[in-house]
Structure 1
């Protein structure tokens, strides 16, 4: 979560300490929620939505946008994802980094490994982004994914 404030500048708007704190709380909440998901289809669908928000034009799916919006609104009630869609990719990407950076307590296919495999697969087929700041975030998520899949041996 160290890079959250830097990644928030992707959107090009002025970032306040309150913005960073509300996004930090959202990232923690999302990581906790998504880290408990145990249905493979839901994990794959969510990871694909996150990869989509990290790549392309940065526009999140409505389902992902609403999930992230609800989480941010706990600390920043006026936040609307359709006004700041890049924040959805930033928060969801950082939540995935949090999940994938966690300690592995056993071998095999764990929830983080399932997210990692799906994210790695989706992100590896995306072209590099022209926006350097967005590409740095995308590569940060992409770079954490293989380290988690290595533990599934």
Structure 2
């Protein structure tokens, strides 16, 4: 299935989609591609907010975009790999028999699958600005991201 089809299917049943990805076997190139794709989309989602901030502050947009590029394409992937390792350690402490790859893929896929809401959040931040609408969209994204991540971890949990 295509990436967009998988993202849409994740909103209907995240555990099934992650289980299918994990059944293909551990391939770190696929996990890295999913993570980098998610980070690129998150970077693009920042553009409206950064344009608004640059306009209101009278700053150069290029500098803000450069900082966001560095953060999302070079630093964030390292942090997500670390978070995936910590998630694996916590799952192992709870008795899970999932591999580190399973934990990473569940996290990376949750981030990529929740990018439509991240894009919406970026649009609201750029066009509406701070307020209850931005808070609502951000809370919705967080809830969906956690739902996808927990479901993905459960899909990787051996014996379920």
Structure whose residues are more often helix by fraction: 2
TM over 0.5: no
The higher-RCO structure (CA 8 Å, 6+ apart) is: 2
Normalising by structure 2, we get a TM-score of 0.29
Normalising by structure 1, we get a TM-score of 0.30
